[in-house]
Chain A
Amino acid sequence: MSSSPTAIRLEGVSKRYRAGRSRTFVDLLASTFDRVRGRERDVYSAARGRIDATVHALKDVSFDVPEGTGLGIIGSNGAGKTTLLKLISRVTWPTSGRVRVAGRVVSLIELGAGFHPELTGRENVYLGAGLFGLTRREIDRRFDEIVQFAEVERLIETPMKRYSSGLYARLGFSVAVHSHPDIVLVDEVLAVGDAAFRRRAIESLRGLIADGKTVLFISHDMWNVRRLCDHIIWMDDGRVRAAGAAGEMVDRYMEDVNVRALANRQDPLQSHRGGTGEIRYTGIEILDRDLRPAGRVSEGGALVVRAGYEAVSRVASPVFQVAIVDVDSGIVVATATSSAADAPPMTERSGAVDCIFESLPLRPRQYALRMTITDVHQLVSYDVITSGPRFVVTATNGASALSADGDGVVSLPYRFDHHLRAMS
């Protein structure tokens, strides 16, 4: 990447956990007994269950992170992202391999994890910053900054059990970023705050990177990952599947997620599924103008949602609905084949329907599709996919997206006219 010194180096790191329930002393006796009798170490017992099964959370992972990098870590649940952060923060140790780190690490695996509800905000700032290794004098110097950033001035002498969860998280984040870390590990913790706080949090992390600090950022929000990180590591099943420039990684990852959502019946897509089932979507593809699969659409570009369907029984004139959803603000665009004109002739049991957006004037960020099939009166829902395939809208030019900060939902053409009026 560059010639700056290495902040984090992982060499052949593997991590195994014991799965299943924790051992009791009886289990210890049982496994010792089994070993004495020369049996396998993996103890199975109908009554006690399997206890020695292991989970391979990381498999031979190696990479270097230079100082001053914003590195995104993406991947599906269970890919080993959090384990990675825990190893770097020394919360846990590798089963084999070596993890080396330069400087002080602050891990934000959970905001305000060290806070005590009976203590006041002030006391918790000292306690929390102390957990990150700061001395009282260092905290004294930063105290006002911490409180101002979190916007808790009014409540700083109040026990934290009276705080809302958002305030709690805000103070936790503020303490962490003001602990002058060399390396910050962020694990999907920004989801708790409101949009304004999230934006400020991202800004402060960007500031740290600009100051030459290293930030590792786990998130499922591809928009935020792209905003913060130049490079991305894509984790899959405990291994590094790919690493490279953020834009390219996000595209490849989104495409993979969407392809797998269709291929795999046990995908999260399926678990959010409702409806009576007379007719169901069989596949949803996100395509570009030329009907090529796409994980991202540029701001104002064209988008085609191609939805295959299959009916179990004969359904008279079903209504297909496609909505574009923003995680923060809900449904952004809702469409339906309501008019008789575009209702499909249900002569066949299966087919496909294209929902074509000639132009999608959406602000750059991540969106999801919400897809339903209802009867003609929209009284019966045959199929409901509340959280369908996702896609990213990217800015037509990278710089403007960051300066406009992704505010708002719709990008409409506009201009400013100035009318100068002489002061009388």
Chain B
Amino acid sequence: MTTLAVERTLSDRAERTDAAAYWELLMNLTKREVKGRYSQSLFGVGWAVAQPLATMAVFTLVFSRLANIVSDVPYPIFAYTGLVPWFFFLNAVNSGTMSLVQYRNIVTKTYFPREIIPLAQVCSRLIDLGAAASLVAVLMAYYGVGVTRWALLVPALFLLLVAFTTAVTLLTSAANVFYRDVSPVVQIGLQLWLYVTPIAYPFAKVPLQWRRWIAMNPLSGVIEGFRSAVLYGREPDWTLLAVSASLTLVSLVGAFVLFKRLDRYFADVI
């Protein structure tokens, strides 16, 4: 029998195995999440598409009545393109916030890097994101929107979206371990967040004096970026994107550092 080449000297470190094993654990927990969510559900991942579609319908009824809020593309596809990344963010943060508390059973009984749990929540929502995003292509064909080379930006934008979602989820999940008040606060916060993100309206229609604040929301750059790359087929607003990218990087690093400083107390207070 071969054994792992883990050196057996006394150590203070908590990790005692290689990163590959933890990567697989992340994948397994993700699978567990997805399977748990869609088992005994007839419509399955279809719900991931239904959610933004329904909101798109509501937005179309309400906002498209406002005189030419969007001029370049039909309003439904405009709204849907913003709602797809939004619902990924919303669902990941919502379930991620509760995740450590839900996995209390494992957290208090075995050691493994704790960030795997909220990360699995984010990863498990990628399937929903993929399903919902593929409908954008259908809508584009339906409304006759062409694809340009700017569509090549999409993977980078996805990465930015996932990075920012991860940062927020790490923070809220850790905070929720200590104070359960975090979860309702997050839910209310997310409701408001929807309206300070250019989803129902374009960034260009934001009054000048507020633009600076809307731009400070990293999701603004991401969502506007998606629309430029996919719907408008033109160069994105680089300044907006740069602000979004740098804020995302800062928050991701900050959230991770904070998470690792707090995680040794999780099992005691959870």
Contact = CB atoms under 8 A, between A and B. Distances in A.
Interface of A: 5-7, 9, 17-18, 22-25, 28, 67, 86, 89-93, 98-105, 107, 109-110, 113-114, 116, 118-119, 123, 126-127, 130-136, 138, 180, 182
Contacts of B9: 102
Nearest to A113: B109
A102 B22 contact: no
14 contacts: A22-B180, A25-B181, A90-B111, A93-B264, A102-B8, A105-B16, A113-B106, A114-B106, A118-B32, A118-B36, A130-B21, A131-B110, A133-B22, A138-B21
A102 B21 contact: no
Contact of A132 (B36, B110, B268): B110
Interface in B90-145: 105-112
Contacts of A107: 109-111
Interface in B158-200: 178-181
Contacts of A17: 268
Nearest to B269: A22
B12 interface: yes
A113 B110 contact: yes
B179 A126 contact: no
B208 interface: no
B10 A100 contact: yes
A169 to B, nearest CB: 14
Contacts of A180: 1, 3-4
Given A18-B269, A98-B12, A104-B16, A118 B39 contact: yes
Contacts of A118: 32, 35-36, 39
A179 B206 CA distance: 57
Interface in B1-48: 1, 3-4, 6, 8-12, 14, 16-18, 20-22, 24-25, 28-29, 31-32, 35-36, 39
A91 B4 contact: no
B153 interface: no
Contacts of B267: 86, 91-92
Nearest to A182: B8
Contacts of A25: 179, 181
Pairs of residues from A and B, 10 with the lowest C-beta to C-beta distance, nearest first: A133-B17, A100-B10, A130-B25, A90-B111, A93-B264, A25-B181, A90-B14, A103-B8, A92-B267, A102-B8
A25 to B, nearest CB: 4
Interface in B62-106: 105-106
Contacts of A5: 8
Contacts of B36: 116, 118
- Identify the interface centre among B6, B25, B29, B107: most chain A CB within 10 Å of its CB: B25
A7 B8 CA distance: 8
Nearest to A9: B10
A34 to B, nearest CB: 18
A24 B181 contact: yes
A109 B264 CA distance: 18
Contacts of B35: 116, 118-119, 123
A103 B1 CA distance: 17
A149 B81 CA distance: 52
Contact of A123 (B11, B31, B268): B31
B29 A127 contact: yes
Nearest to A85: B109
B181 A101 contact: no
Contacts of B24: 130, 135-136
A317 B14 CA distance: 65
Contacts of B22: 133
B106 A131 contact: yes
B221 to A, nearest CB: 32
Nearest to A103: B8
Given A89-B110, A132-B110, A133-B21, A101 B268 contact: no
Contacts of A67: 8
A375 B95 CA distance: 63
Nearest to B25: A130
Given A25-B181, A93-B264, A102 B10 contact: yes
Contacts of B181: 24-25
- Identify the interface centre among A100, A123, A131, A136: most chain B CB within 10 Å of its CB: A131
A91 B108 CA distance: 6
Nearest to A211: B1
B110 A100 contact: no
Contacts of B1: 180
B212 to A, nearest CB: 30
Contacts of A110: 105, 109
A114 B106 CA distance: 6
Interface in B226-270: 264-265, 267-269
A118 B28 CA distance: 13
Given A5-B8, A22-B180, A24-B180, 4 more contacts: A101-B11, A113-B110, A119-B32, A127-B28
A132 to B, nearest CB: 7
Given A113-B106, A133-B17, A104 B6 contact: yes
B149 to A, nearest CB: 39
A98 B11 CA distance: 10
Given A135-B18, A135-B24, A180-B3, A101 B10 contact: yes
B17 A100 contact: no
Nearest to A102: B8
Contacts of B107: 91
Given A113-B109, A131-B106, A180-B1, A102 B11 contact: yes
